[in-house]
Structure 1
Amino acid sequence: MSTGNERLVVIGGDAAGMSAASQARRLRGPDELEIVAFERGHFTSYSACGIPYWVGGQVDERDDLVARSPAAHRERGIDLRMRTEVVEIDTAGRRVRARELDGGAESWTSYDKLVIATGARPIRPALPGIDAAGVHGVQTLDDGQALLDTLRVTKGRRAVVVGAGYIGVEMAEALINRGYEVTVVNRGSQPMSTLDPDMGRLVHEAMTGMGITMVDDAEVTKVLTGDDGRVRAVATQDAEYPADVVVLGIGVRPETTLAKAAGLPLGDHGGLLTDLAMRVRGHDDIWAGGDCVEVLDLVSGRERHIALGTHANKHGQIIGSNVGGGYATFPGVVGTAVSKVCDLEIARTGLREKDARRAGLQYVTVSIESTSRAGYYPGAALMTVKMLAERRTGKLLGVQIVGREGAGKRVDVAAVALTAGMTVEQMTALDLGYAPPFSPVWDPVLVAARKAVAAVRAG
């Protein structure tokens, strides 16, 4: 092992942590910077976002989701310690205490610089039976493997998904693809609370049309088990829903147990607070990134928690650059996300109506229906685009899109417009690509922008 001039310790071996370690290593060699990384699981640098597609069968092999193995990281001069969990951060002593999960041995490791990339944990409510065999959260490759192992030995074909956010709808699709009868139990009035209810209703209708049983405005009160201890049903206050397997898709929270115990600053959503360089506020030698941090929403001006691999990888690159002696910043996000359930594409960026109200903004909303291609071209599919704009200025505030093939990625146009601070009137003049196989003469996003301009002027 190198005895370099400085030691960087990284907690967490997935996107943010190992991106930071790898970037720091590119900038500083082993004789200048020793890098020690701890990962409590069996895998590093993998795509958690791809797990539903692996479970659903679109991705054949687990290793297809792994971008870089532990061995590959070690070959690049990173002392990566797998199945080892950091259980304490001593900021005063500039050291961490780690425990080997397979043997139980504990040891302290000192650091000059520390990166916290502990990710997020699935929300697992404290309900009777929640830990029964056959009940699964899905956050890591280990979780995905455990679910697949259950699916392979389960004789029944009834599945209940608890929650109807991104994880819930993606896992509903995965289970449909596996031949299960799927019921989604959702405490909200419509699926996809990241959308406004009128757009969530479109998702509800489409999922019902796919044969998925949607149960909205229902909160799970317990998980019922059989004599063998395995799950047999999910209960709400009003009904029971038979289940041979249950998947929790309620969402995630920042995994900041260590950080909180160490007295590091947390935001309203429980995530670590950092500056633009991803340095933990008030701590010059500690950085944090990925799903364990809160980020600035450039539209509302508020801190948010968004668990996405795109942000985690960017955070890691920025942290690694700064730790390695370079300079980089992460200015914030506009809240862009895209998902699908079977052939339905769901996308959003910017603010929902309730976000705009919470931020004290006055706004107008418009919704339009259009097609993904010229109406006369084969395969043209319908989509609905909803747009929010500030009442007085016409500044774009948010866009939501629900539709079939060709709908989802159109949200990227709106994401760029939000980042640039464009008005809806400026958007109408955007020089977007056009040909009948790709778009109508007026792209659906621009049709919505034109309608929003009229609404702003009328208001």
Structure 2
Amino acid sequence: MVIIGGDAAGMSAAAQARRLRTEDELEIVAFERGAFTSYSACGIPYWIGGDVGSRDELIARTPEEHRKRGIDVRLHTEVTAIDLDGQRVRTRAHGAAGGAAGGPRGAEEWTGFDKLVIATGARPVRPSLPGMDADGVHGVQSLGDGEALLDSLAAAERADGGARRTLRAVVVGAGYIGVEMSEALIRRGHRVTVLDRAEQPMSTLDPDMGALVREGMTGLGIDVRTGAAVTGIRTDADGRARAVVTADGEHEADIVVLGIGVRPETALAEAAGLPLGDAGGLLTDLAMRVRGQRNVWAGGDCVEVFDRVTRRPRHLPLGTHANKHGQVIGTNAGGGYATFPGVVGTAVSKVCDLEIARTGLLERQAERAGLRFVTVTVEATGRAGYFPGAEPMRVKMLAERRTGRLLGTQIVGREGAGKRVDIAAVALTAGMTVEEMTGLDLGYAPPFSPVWDPVLVAARRAASEVRAQGS
């Protein structure tokens, strides 16, 4: 069993297959072009911001720990080609630390497989604009990226050899990574400007909900510039980034962080002739087997998955899904049977104490899917209004106009807002209507919720709107 990629999906698949098959029954080889395995990329902003004390705290299982369990992990070893007919992969070593069978830098060899797992992840979007590859411009996708950013910050903060400097940091993109990195940089004491071409930050929310995120970011002292399309990076004589250029002017920068998003890393798969979806991700069946292949599986950020709301393939790069994909792949490759039933699109984030959550469809996604829907927005509090510490939250809910089926929920608020989205995620998974949701037996006590939980208040309002509009 050959695995391409040593993070969540790949190593979860390896570990699960090893639980089911001994080393005599199944040899497992995992190729990882980087220096780490099984780590939390989602934790990088919190490492940069100081919530996480060290890099190693983000590593769930080291290569040595995997090897002790009978998994041959080969670091600094990149797979450069997949030969499906010959059932083999070609690798190139990037250093002598390649592991038990790692070769000298540049050495190439072929390794045969009976079972292949593609877990190549995603790559940060880096537009083909002037200066995007300059020193001081950082993507944030891997632990190596995090280390490079921290080193760059440390050097710039002490550039004058004296007291710690306040830097001018520019974050390009206001999605999850951009928002989280802007908070991390402001917490380090720097001046932060966020540039995004959209109407509001967090395009994973509808604009009216994104406006609340903007208020929260501005309240932290972050300069949020929307409708700002970046045209390039201005560099100095040494080739280091000094400003981010937009159509409206320049934003001076000592450090630039890219938070524009990611795309599936599927160049290898495409070259091998494997099927890709509209978003460029590998297409699999419910067993995570690549379509048209018998012994090739794929999981993690390089695949498109079944959206249970639209019932179409969707690229949704999240660590939660990657680990589940790996469990399913490992079970099937190890001789068992498991399926991944799909996603509803649940995600949470935060800016300081402002919690941001969504599940299901946004308005524009529902429109693209050809759905007729009603939308309601309610203001409520996370605790009983009379209980100390009750904070406001806004809940937006979409329901199918004819049937009342829940289509999506967005929540922005303070303590207790973010994880409330899980109520809606379960309702979406179960295919519930907003009318059915109003009868959910949720926990109540004044420190935790009003008598009517904010999500149920929104469901009641949506159910009324469905009845009012009829078919």
Which bin holds the TM-score, normalised by the shorter protein? over 0.9
Question: Which amino acid in the other structure matches residue 46 of structure 2?
Answer: Y
Question: Which amino acid in the other structure matches residue 83 of structure 2?
Answer: D
* Equivalences for residues 77-226 of structure 1 within 5 A: 77-102=70-95, 103-155=105-157, 156-226=166-236
Indicate which of 267, 280, 297 corresponds to 1:270: 280
- Which moved further from structure 2: 154-163 or 10-19? 154-163
Mapped pair 1:28 → 2:28: no
Mapped pair 1:430 → 2:463: no
Question: Using the alignment, how far apart are the partners of 1:342 and 1:242 within structure 2?
Answer: 25
Partner of 1:3: none
Q: Please state how far the C-alpha of 1:228 moved relative to its aligned partner.
A: 2.6
Indicate which of 43, 54, 65 corresponds to 1:61: 54
Question: Which amino acid in the other structure matches residue 71 of structure 1?
Answer: E
Q: Percent identity?
A: 74
Partner of 2:329: 319
Question: Which amino acid in the other structure matches residue 257 of structure 1?
Answer: A
Moved over 3 A (4+): none
Indicate which of 50, 71, 75 corresponds to 2:68: 75
Question: Which amino acid in the other structure matches residue 447 of structure 1?
Answer: V
Question: Using the alignment, how far apart are the partners of 1:78 and 1:453 within structure 2?
Answer: 53
Partner of 1:350: 360
Mapped pair 1:330 → 2:323: no
- Could you say what secondary structure the match of 2:282 adopts? coil
Q: Can you list the C-alpha shifts for 1:372-431, whole angstroms capped at 9, x where unaligned?
A: 111111111111000000111111000000111110000000000000000001100100
Q: Please state how far the C-alpha of 1:301 moved relative to its aligned partner.
A: 1.1
Question: Using the alignment, how far apart are the partners of 1:49 and 1:305 within structure 2?
Answer: 17
Question: Using the alignment, how far apart are the partners of 1:350 and 1:61 within structure 2?
Answer: 35
Q: Please state how far the C-alpha of 1:66 moved relative to its aligned partner.
A: 0.3
Partner of 2:100: none
- Could you say what secondary structure the match of 1:174 adopts? helix
Partner of 1:388: 398
Partner of 2:162: none
- Could you say what secondary structure the match of 1:357 adopts? helix
Q: Please state how far the C-alpha of 1:175 moved relative to its aligned partner.
A: 0.5
Question: Which amino acid in the other structure matches residue 288 of structure 1?
Answer: A
Question: Using the alignment, how far apart are the partners of 1:227 and 1:384 within structure 2?
Answer: 49
- Which moved further from structure 2: 314-323 or 351-360? 351-360
Structure 2's unaligned 5+ residue stretches are 96-104, 158-165
Question: Using the alignment, how far apart are the partners of 1:229 and 1:285 within structure 2?
Answer: 47
Partner of 2:452: 442
Partner of 2:98: none
Mapped pair 1:248 → 2:219: no
Question: Which amino acid in the other structure matches residue 65 of structure 2?
Answer: A
Question: Which amino acid in the other structure matches residue 450 of structure 1?
Answer: R
Question: Using the alignment, how far apart are the partners of 1:77 and 1:49 within structure 2?
Answer: 27
Partner of 2:384: 374
| Number of equivalenced pairs | 452
Partner of 1:5: none
- Could you say what secondary structure the match of 2:426 adopts? helix
Mapped pair 1:39 → 2:32: yes
Question: Which amino acid in the other structure matches residue 296 of structure 1?
Answer: F
Indicate which of 10, 20, 28 corresponds to 1:17: 10
Question: Using the alignment, how far apart are the partners of 1:342 and 1:149 within structure 2?
Answer: 24
Q: Can you list the C-alpha shifts for 1:230-284, whole angstroms capped at 9, x where unaligned?
A: 1111010111101110000000000001000000000000000000000000010
Question: Using the alignment, how far apart are the partners of 2:462 and 2:325 within structure 1?
Answer: 34
Mapped pair 1:283 → 2:293: yes
Q: Please state how far the C-alpha of 1:229 moved relative to its aligned partner.
A: 2.0
- Could you say what secondary structure the match of 1:161 adopts? strand
How does the TM-score come out when normalised to structure 2? Answer: 0.95
Question: Using the alignment, how far apart are the partners of 1:148 and 1:375 within structure 2?
Answer: 43
Question: Which amino acid in the other structure matches residue 13 of structure 2?
Answer: A
Question: Using the alignment, how far apart are the partners of 2:60 and 2:112 within structure 1?
Answer: 29
Question: Using the alignment, how far apart are the partners of 2:119 and 2:385 within structure 1?
Answer: 47
How does the TM-score come out when normalised to structure 1? Answer: 0.98
Question: Which amino acid in the other structure matches residue 399 of structure 1?
Answer: T
Partner of 2:271: 261
Q: Please state how far the C-alpha of 1:201 moved relative to its aligned partner.
A: 1.1
- Could you say what secondary structure the match of 1:410 adopts? helix
Partner of 2:427: 417
Q: Can you list the C-alpha shifts for 1:50-69, whole angstroms capped at 9, x where unaligned?
A: 11100110000100000000
